[in-house]
């Protein structure tokens, strides 16, 4: 899909499509362009804000590698690596521990050819293998990171009506894309939706992300089978709740969801409670969700930032301090963004998740 007309033509030919399919098609076209991330793009992620973010995750992975018994090789995986900033910062820290650096077998799950090229540049010659899906990552002990990946996976939406749950669709009205509802209730919705969603008042929209649940289950099963840890960082509520969170962002500003599909980033809040339940049923321990700010502070982001500031010129020092504030402040990314870790059943709490 290169232009909005192609999606409208698809709908004209096939009829209205579920929000899930619309979001999947639009985001596939959007990320294929490879220019979404960064100050000159449409949005910026934590690794682009501060190098300390990726450095702390690198230290976190090293600690968990030791807990696993220092396996060699260990599959280090990033889902949706963007422009490669996180993995580059992570590997720079790993290089300080030669045995860990040697053990890393690097795998990047990325479907965009344009972004794969950016990631290859960021790696600077470091060997890696790219995959279209997590299913392609070889068996073995796993250290996985997914930062702002789950929020871009397509969600299904339903509206509660007196006669049941009607799925939200995207159709065409008056020559333009428009939200619609399925003509008949969906009898399968109650079995899918969380209990908090099922209690939603009439007229309220609820969401469920089948792709995220399937992925979490596969990762959890891999950890239960082969050992490892997975770290997810994203935005959304800690507890399941009804509501329409689908949004579009273009040039760092909210944009109309149905305007120019494939030219804006479409995301939805991550339902951490529901995903934690899916992971638990798959046989792993779940830690979190925990606010990103608290987690980063426990890992030492303030001390690391102060060390960098101490040897930086004034302009750089101010930027470093501002970046850390943006990542941890409750009024910025510190509370809305959460972290959640999956671990073997018998694992002690990973760094940042210790009960204080």
Residues in contact with 98: Cβ distance below 8 Å, sequence separation at least 6, in sequence order = none
The pTM of this model reads 0.94
Same domain, 27 and 95: no
Closest of 216, 203, 344 to residue 277, by C-alpha:
216
pLDDT in tens, the chain (356 residues): 444 457 778 888 889 999 999 999 999 988 887 666 555 556 678 999 999 999 999 999 999 999 999 999 999 999 999 999 999 999 999 999 999 999 999 999 999 999 999 999 999 999 999 999 999 999 999 999 999 999 999 999 999 999 999 999 999 988 889 999 999 999 999 899 988 998 899 999 999 999 999 999 999 999 999 999 999 999 999 999 999 999 998 877 889 999 988 888 999 999 999 999 999 999 999 999 999 999 999 999 999 999 999 999 998 999 999 999 999 999 999 999 999 999 999 999 999 999 75
Same domain, 120 and 231: yes
Same domain, 169 and 311: no
Q: Would 37 be classed as within a structural domain?
A: no
Same domain, 329 and 259: no
User: Within a 10 A sphere around the Cβ of 35, how many other Cβ atoms?
Assistant: 14
Same domain, 258 and 306: no
How many domains are contained in the chain? Answer: 2
User: Within a 10 A sphere around the Cβ of 176, how many other Cβ atoms?
Assistant: 11
Same domain, 223 and 142: yes
Burial of 260 (0-12, 13-18, 19+ CB in 10 A): middle
* Gap between the Cα atoms of 192 and 207, Å rounded: 10
Cβ contact 106:127 at 8 Å: yes
List Cα–Cα distances, 102 to 86, 98, 131, in angstroms: 19, 6, 21
* Gap between the Cα atoms of 171 and 179, Å rounded: 6
Single residue among 267, 283, 315 that ends a domain in this structure: 267
Q: Would 169 be classed as within a structural domain?
A: yes
Same domain, 126 and 231: yes
Same domain, 326 and 230: yes
CATH code of 215's domain: 3.40.50.150
Same domain, 332 and 220: yes
For 81: left if phi > 0, alpha if psi spans -120 to 50, otherwise beta; the answer is alpha
Q: Would 41 be classed as within a structural domain?
A: no
Q: Would 356 be classed as within a structural domain?
A: no
Report helix angle 51-67 to 314-328, nearest 10: 60
Same domain, 113 and 123: yes
Q: Would 351 be classed as within a structural domain?
A: no
Q: Would 355 be classed as within a structural domain?
A: no
User: Within a 10 A sphere around the Cβ of 316, how many other Cβ atoms?
Assistant: 12
Same domain, 230 and 287: yes
Q: Would 121 be classed as within a structural domain?
A: yes
Q: Would 162 be classed as within a structural domain?
A: yes
Q: Quickly tell me which residue has 């749950």 as its tokens.
A: 165
Same domain, 68 and 202: no
Range of the structural domain that residue 186 is part of? 1-32+156-208+242-267
């Amino acid at each position: 899909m290169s232009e909005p007309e192609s999606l409208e033509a698809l709908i004209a030919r096939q009829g209205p499509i579920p929000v899930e399919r619309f979001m999947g098609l639009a985001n596939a076209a959007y990320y294929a362009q490879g220019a979404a991330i960064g100050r000159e793009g449409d949005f910026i992620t934590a690794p682009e804000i501060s190098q300390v973010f990726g450095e702390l995750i690198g230290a976190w992975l090293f600690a968990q590698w030791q807990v696993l018994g220092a396996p060699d090789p260990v599959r280090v995986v990033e889902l949706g690596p963007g422009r490669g900033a996180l993995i580059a910062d992570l590997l720079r820290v790993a290089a300080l521990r030669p045995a860990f650096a040697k053990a890393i077998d690097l795998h990047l799950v990325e479907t965009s050819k344009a972004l794969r090229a950016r990631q290859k540049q960021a790696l600077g010659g470091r060997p890696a293998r790219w995959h279209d899906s997590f299913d392609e990552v070889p068996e073995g002990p796993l250290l996985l990171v997914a930062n702002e990946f789950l929020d871009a996976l397509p969600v299904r939406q339903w509206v509660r009506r007196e006669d049941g749950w009607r799925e939200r669709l995207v159709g065409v009205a008056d020559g333009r894309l428009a939200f619609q509802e399925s003509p008949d209730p969906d009898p399968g919705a109650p079995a899918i939706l969380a209990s908090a969603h099922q209690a939603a008042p009439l007229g309220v929209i609820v969401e469920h992300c089948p792709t995220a649940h399937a992925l979490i289950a596969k990762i959890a099963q891999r950890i239960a089978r082969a050992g490892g840890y997975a770290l997810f960082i994203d935005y959304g509520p800690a507890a399941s709740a009804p509501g329409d969170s689908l949004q579009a962002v273009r040039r760092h500003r909210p944009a109309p969801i149905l305007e120019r599909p494939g030219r804006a980033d479409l995301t939805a809040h991550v339902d951490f409670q529901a995903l934690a339940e899916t992971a638990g049923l798959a046989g792993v321990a779940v830690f979190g969700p925990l606010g990103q700010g608290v987690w980063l502070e426990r890992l030492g982001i303030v001390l690391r930032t102060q060390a960098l500031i101490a040897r930086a010129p004034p302009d750089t020092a101010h930027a470093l301090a501002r970046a850390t504030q943006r990542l941890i402040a409750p009024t910025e990314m510190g509370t809305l963004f959460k972290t959640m870790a999956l671990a073997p059943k018998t694992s002690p709490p990973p760094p940042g998740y210790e009960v204080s």
